[in-house]
Chains A and B, each alone.
Chain A
Amino acid sequence: MSSVSTPTTLKRPDLAPPPRRTLRSRLRNTGQRYLGIYLLMVPTIVSMAVFSYYPKLDVFIKSTYRWTPGRIEEFIGTKHFLDAFADPLFWQSFRVIMIMLIANLFKMWPAIIAAIALHRIISDRWRYLFQVSFVIPMVIPGIVWLLVWKSFYDPDFGLLNRLLNATGAMSVLHWLDGTDGAPGAMPVIASALRPVIDGGVTPIFGGVWAMILLGGVLLTLMVQRRTDPRRWLGYVVLLVTAWVSPMLGVLALTGSTGMALAGVGLVLLLFGLAKGMGSGWVIWPFLLIFGIWACWGQLWRLPLLIAAGITFAELVYAKAPRLTAPEILRWSGGVLAGGGALLVALGMIWTEPTNQFVEGRPAWLGNQDLVLPSLILWGFPWVSTIGVLIYLAGLQQIGQDVYEAAELDGVGPIGTLFKIELPLIMTQVRINLIFMTIGTLTGFEFFLILLGEDGGPGNVGMVPGLYMYKSAFSDLRYGYACALGMVLFVIILLLTIVYQKYVKVEK
């Protein structure tokens, strides 16, 4: 038996369709809700537009003018950029700033370690006292700090030489340096490494820097491991860019049209690179710039080196087990880059005695060989207050449970540093890295005060910021200074993108 139930007809409730809201009423509602908030932002936005963005835009516009305020204003297109690219001093200034940037990467560590040490102090009162002691130096004006350090470097009356002589460190430096007649340990090591560089590295790679480049390519391919077929397009574009970009450089120097064409070509290539290499593409322009510099004079080597790197990486991924392949790339890249860096450090920098330590009175700021070491040494022990406070803020966000879990897993104090604390404050490291990079690339006061506007003997302390300052305020080439500023802006922007991409907390 089946019972057929009469289906109950559900009556649609007699609801009238919601009234259609007119655009005006929606705007009114939204406006009532948010207008106040938006209006609150207006003064800030207007101020930013007028005082922050407009001047920057004006810098871009003025970079296309021959401009001395109140006197000359003549549109010259891209000529300042052509001058900048052909200016030997501008490129030399980048060499200096790259050295400073690398040195500053190492100089970040003391602040991190100091912050971790502070964070680990158990007593709140003591921690607070130490925190305060870190903040107190901030009240000393920067200029005073600079002048104090300048007096430290005085060869005869300065503290540094006295300290080195009193502690015996000067004898060690003299032993390392020696004299023209009796070279010290470093020049001897450099001369011993010369056959390795000339007879081994140069014939194979084209030079030590090219060897480091290959290491960098392998490490980048290891980090960016991609399996989708689009990577082949990326490789092709990369090789084409490596082949063509020097030619684009030459084309750019032929004139404004050439520069425009080169610019368009470069943008297209970068676009292709971005499509082919994925989100991590931004490191490649830097590797290419470094490669052009490393292979200068033998530019045909650049695409070959990159091709060799790609081939090796693809072969490793194809043949080696999945978990082993990245390790092979990591080690081979590390050996090439690290070995190259070691060869540079030991075999290519301190190649001849400076003869500065023999009398125990090295002229730190007055000798072209010692200027850069002095600038790097400046501010020792490099524990910057702001840096410590930023890292400390990050460390204080790490929960106690994380530490407890680590303790249960048997992680020791050193392990905690590298496995817990450092990875979890990567956001703060990135912030400091960005600040440090911007400060290093644009800073000039430090160099101006210590070395003068020509950058000291042999212009060894000439950095882009100082060159920009000198062009504007000493040579009155404000337009040219604006163009230099634009070049710096692009470089800083790209570096910031690299940091955003690669320096972060692993989720």
Chain B
Amino acid sequence: MKPRYFLNANGIGLVLVLGAYVVSVLTVLSHPSEPKGKDDTDGRRIVRMMHWQLEPGYREALQRVIDEYNALPHVQEANIEIQQLDVTERVYSQILNVHTVSGTAPDLCQQQSRSKTVAGAGIAQYFESVGQAGEKPNPYNAPPYLSAERAASLANRSWRETFVDGMQAGWNGELQDYFSVPTSSLGGTKIYYNQTLMAEAKALMRRAWAASERPAWFEALLLKPATGETETGYVPDTPALGEWLEGDSPPETLGQMLMVCGAIWEIGRLRDDNLLVPISGSTYSDVVFAKRYLVPFTSQYSESVNLNQDRLVSGAETWTGWKAGAWSFDDPAMTAYFDCISAICRQFPPGFLGLDREQARRRFVSGHAGMLATGLFDAKSIFDACEGVVVGSEEDTPTSAASGQEVTVVEGVERRGYRFSVGVMDFPIPGPGERWSSYAKYPASAANANGEGRFMVYQRSPNKAWALDFLKFLTSLRINEQFNRETNWLPIIAGAAPAPQITAFAPDPYGLAPDLRLAPDGGNALSMRTLYTGQFKNYIAGDISFEEFKQRIRGAAEDPRSGVDRVHFEAWRTDLDRIRNAESAIAVQAALALLQDEPEAGEGLRRVVRRSVLKHNGILNRVYWQQQFPDEPFPSY
């Protein structure tokens, strides 16, 4: 007799598979879409803080602040606990995008400009405005959290006013409101230099300068009058040069910096050390130098190119200006800029385009390079690796003591693992009479160096008030100073003193802004940005001449479908998208104002409407085009 259907193997398999499938589906469906905000074990409310700062010391410093906050009596009473979630930078934006959209983001999230989902007006969909909170004083800037003396100037000020940048880093221009709270300042990018090697280079140049017959390598560094089209050398042979060579100061002008580079090449030759290079360049450093020197050389164009006369020149404005003839690659200033960048990149190691930031850092700390251009975020690791740790300090752990590293006395202080002292200097501009000095007279201003480490409060968090409270704690004077001294970052709160070795990173507002944006902005530029970047790298690596570079870029810019016209068209379309987003925000703010009678909603509504009106439905872009090219219809695709 045949076995009954449900008793055979197929039936059992079916039941197992369907059962497993149903259980899986039910598990997924029963997963709470709202974050609970509570630890199931003991009912404690967990406030999670997600960030991507994995630099040495950051997590530890933040944890100390968290521990201190968690121990506060009112926090204990409310059974609140802050926890940090550190995520690698490479995947941070994807994690942030996915969790914000799916409603499972942590209560506090660090803002990352790469995460476009929470950029622009889109941020209001997922994160809370902190504009209103910024109007009130920060309770942690008052006694008993702060001594009466230090609290005197801050206790009654609005939270926003206590920030060095007025919380500008959290400002959203499209929504005309504040959406994140900065916790540190990174200042500008600077040049770290090996003091030992710098002194050696200057000593070598001093000897060469004083010699009756100067060596050829030194002569090549001295500026010669232009013969034909090309200038050679960098610094004129004047008494000022001799004065600088006699002293101990690092290079004060671009010419002097390039002379030091020449001397370091010579040291390498004398030592038969072909690994030694003047600047530890990488595919990251070229961009750093290119950006820093673009301002001094091209700021002069900004007035004629900045069509909407705002605070920066966009890629579309830059290239529309090129098409209109406001600037060209043949202008002496542009030629000088590219010549200057090429001269700087020649001081990089061969094949620097194949090296990443980490490889460049490693070369510098191992003493195979004279200089390294990077930001404050690398300061701690560079200082620790080059100067070692002070014997007996907190960082001199038993592990480092047992590592067998030599102890060196440096300026009366015992240091373990000392290699050389590190100095920090700004990007110098050409001095008077030096090569390129007629085109670059002032440095780039760092006035726009806003706060960093910006945190946002997630709109669907059940612990919004506590998340905001912790941000207030973190940005109170005492805590912010302590936190940033430990991380070796610059504090963001007025009156907080940074660690002594990083004071050089304080942003210097003196100088020029803005510049041209030669590599047009990502999404607006289609393939043109990529082509520009690729050819620019070819040029600075010396693989193509400036003429070839110009020709290739011109070809890309003149392409009817992906060139300049398209860049302008896409900028117009982006404006339209922004207006649509602003209109969505208007609808939300209007509904809030109507239904919830929230005063801040009314204010928000007015701000967004103003912003939307100013954009004129994107018509300005078309007007600019008409003004620049009266005979050409606005491009369409």
A residues neighboring B (CB under 8 Å): 32, 36-37, 39-40, 42-43, 68-72, 79, 82-83, 86-90, 150, 153-157, 359, 361-369, 452, 454-460, 462, 470, 474-477
Q: What residues of A have a CB within 8 angstroms of the CB of B10 in the complex?
A: 36-37, 40
| Contact, CB under 8 Å: B351 / A458 | no
Q: A155-B354, A454-B534 are in contact. Are A475 and B283 (CB under 8 A)?
A: no
B contact residues around A369 at 8 Å (CB): 543
Q: Does B214 contact A (CB under 8 A)?
A: no
B14 close to A (CB within 8 Å): yes
- Whether the pair B559, A88 counts as a contact (CB closer than 8 A) is yes
In angstroms, how far is the closest chain A Cβ from the Cβ of B366? 9
Contacts of A364 in B (CB 8 A): 351, 354
**Once the chains bind, are B526 and A87 in contact (CB under 8 Å)?**
yes
Question: Could you tell me if B14 and A40 are in contact, using CB atoms closer than 8 angstroms?
Answer: yes
What CA separation (Å) do A363 and B541 show in the bound complex?
Answer: 10
B54: which A residues are within 8 A, CB to CB? none
Q: Of B120, B351, B522, which one neighbours A367 at CB under 8 angstroms?
A: B351
Please give, as numbers and ranges, the residues of chain B lying within 8 Å of A42 by CB-CB distance: 18
What CA separation (Å) do A365 and B5 show in the bound complex?
65
**Is B527 a contact partner of A87 (Cβ separation < 8 A)?**
yes
* Chain B residue nearest in CB terms to A40: B14
Q: Is the CB of B530 within 8 A of A470?
A: yes
Question: Beta-carbon contacts of B277-310 to A below 8 Å, as 1s and 0s?
Answer: 0000001000000000000000000000000000
Interface residue from B8, B354, B531, B544 paired with A153 (Cβ < 8 Å): B354
Residues in B with CB closer than 8 Å to A157 are: 275
B559 near A365 (CB under 8 angstroms)?
Answer: no
Q: Are A456 and B5 in contact (CB under 8 A)?
A: no
Docked-complex contact B351 and A89, CB < 8 angstroms: no
Q: Which B243-288 residues have a C-beta within 8 angstroms of A?
A: 274-275, 283
B5 touches A458 (CB 8 A): no
Which of A88, A359, A457 is the one whose CB lies under 8 Å from B531? A88
**CA–CA, A88 to B562, complex, Å?**
9
24 pairs from A and B in contact (CB 8 Å cutoff): A32-B5, A36-B8, A36-B10, A40-B17, A70-B122, A71-B581, A82-B561, A87-B561, A88-B556, A89-B527, A155-B354, A359-B274, A361-B274, A365-B354, A366-B352, A366-B354, A368-B541, A369-B543, A456-B534, A457-B538, A457-B543, A460-B534, A470-B530, A476-B116
Q: Which residue of A has the minimal Cβ distance to B521?
A: A475
Cα(A217)–Cα(B379), bound, Å: 63
Residues in A with CB closer than 8 Å to B541 are 363, 366-368, 457
Question: Is A365 touching B353 in the complex (CB atoms < 8 A)?
Answer: yes
Candidates A43, A150, A368, A459; contact of B530 at CB < 8 Å: A459
Q: How far is the CA of A71 from the CA of B97 in the complex (A)?
A: 12
Residue B359 at the chain A interface, CB threshold 8 Å: yes
Asked if residues A72 and B527 are in contact (CB atoms below 8 Å), the reply is no
Say what secondary structure dominates the interface of chain A.
loop
Residue of A nearest to B537 (CB): A457
Q: Which residues of A contact B526 (CB under 8 A)?
A: 83, 87, 475
How far is the CB of A68 from the nearest CB of chain B, in Å? 7
**Chain B neighbourhood of A83, CB < 8 A:** 526, 561-562, 637
Q: Which residues of A contact B17 (CB under 8 A)?
A: 40, 43
Q: Tell me the complex Cα distance, A42–B522, Å.
A: 44
Query: Contacts A68-B116, A83-B561, A454-B534; is A36 near B522 (CB within 8 Å)?
Result: no
Q: How far is the CB of A374 from chain B (nearest CB, A)?
A: 8
Q: How far is the CB of B548 from chain A (nearest CB, A)?
A: 10
Q: Quick one: which of B21, B283, B531, B580 contacts A452, CB cutoff 8 A?
A: B283
Q: Out of B8, B117, B527, B537, which one reaches A456, CB within 8 Å? A: B537
Hey, which chain A residues are within 8 Å of B559, CB to CB? 86, 88
The contact of A36 among B5, B535, B561, by CB within 8 Å, is B5
Q: Which residue of B lies closest to A151 (CB)?
A: B359
Contacts of B594 in A (CB 8 A): none
- On whether A36 and B11 interact (CB within 8 A), knowing A71-B122, A155-B351, A458-B538, the answer reads yes
The answer to whether the Cβ of B409 comes within 8 Å of any Cβ in the partner chain is no
Interface string of B217-237 (1 = CB under 8 A from A): 000000000000000000000
Residues of A with C-beta under 8 A to B101: 69-70
CB distance from B18 to the nearest CB of A (A): 7
Determine how close the nearest CB of chain B comes to the CB of A90; give it in whole angstroms: 8
Given A454-B533, A476-B522: A368 and B122 within 8 A (CB)?
Answer: no
The 3 closest A-B pairs by CB, nearest first: A363-B351, A365-B354, A366-B351
Contact: A368 with B543, CB < 8 Å?
yes
B332 CB within 8 Å of chain A: no
Cross-chain contact A459 with B531 (CB below 8 angstroms): yes
Q: How far is the CB of A482 from chain B (nearest CB, A)?
A: 15
A369 to B353, CA, bound (A): 13
User: Roughly how many angstroms separate A249 CA and B5 CA in the complex, as a whole number?
Assistant: 60
B511 at the interface (CB under 8 A from A): no
**Chain B: CB-nearest residue to A36:** B10
Residues of B within 8 A of A82 (CB): 561
Kindly provide the distance from the CB of A415 to the nearest chain B CB, expressed in whole angstroms: 45
Residues of A within 8 A of B562 (CB): 83, 86-88
Which residues of chain A are within 8 angstroms of B543 by Cβ–Cβ distance?
367-369, 457-458
Q: Which of A460, A474, A475 gathers the greatest number of chain B CB atoms within 10 Å? A: A475
A-B contacts besides A157-B275, A365-B353, 7 pairs, CB < 8 Å: A36-B8, A88-B531, A88-B556, A368-B538, A456-B534, A458-B534, A459-B533
Q: Which residue of A has the minimal Cβ distance to B535? A: A458
Q: Of all chain B residues, which has the CB nearest A39?
A: B14
Of A150, A462, A475, the contact of B522 (CB 8 Å cutoff): A475
- Is B353 a contact partner of A366 (Cβ separation < 8 A)? yes
User: B531, A89: Cβ atoms under 8 Å?
Assistant: yes
Query: Which of B14, B17, B527, B580 has the most chain A CB atoms closer than 10 A to its own CB?
Result: B527
- CB–CB A43/B21 < 8 A: yes
Residues of B within 8 A of A68 (CB): 116
Tell whether B349 is near chain A: CB-to-CB under 8 Å.
yes
- In angstroms, Cα B18 to Cα A470, docked, is 41
**Does residue B35 face the partner (Cβ distance < 8 Å to A)?**
no
Q: Name the residue on A nearest B125 (C-beta).
A: A70
CB distance from A253 to the nearest CB of B (A): 8
Complex-state Cα separation, A71 to B582, whole angstroms: 11
Q: Is there a chain A Cβ closer than 8 Å to B392's Cβ? A: no
- Of all chain A residues, the one with the shortest Cβ separation from B534 is A459
Interface flag for B355 (CB, 8 Å): yes
Which of B13, B116, B530, B544 interacts with A462 by CB under 8 Å? B530
CB of B359 within 8 A of CB of A154, answer yes
B527 surroundings in chain A (CB, below 8 A): 87-90
Assembled-state Cα–Cα distance A223/B150 (Å): 90
Complex contacts, A155 vs chain B, CB 8 Å: 349-351, 354
Q: Given the known inter-chain contacts A71-B581, A72-B577, A368-B543, please indicate yes or no for A457 contacting B534, CB distance below 8 A.
A: yes
Closest to B530 in A: A454
A39 and B351 form a contact (CB under 8 A): no
B577 and A71 contact, CB distance less than 8 A: yes
Q: Which residues of A contact B533 (CB under 8 A)?
A: 454, 459
Taking a contact as CB atoms closer than 8 A, the residue among A69, A363, A455, A459 that contacts B350 in the complex is: A363
What separation, in Å, do the CA atoms of A366 and B531 have in the docked complex? 16
Instruction: Tell whether B509 is near chain A: CB-to-CB under 8 Å.
Output: no
Chain A residues near B538 (CB, 8 Å)?
A: 368, 457-458
A88-B527, A452-B283 as given contacts; A43 in contact with B577, CB under 8 Å: no
Chain A residues positioned under 8 Å from B242 (CB to CB)? none
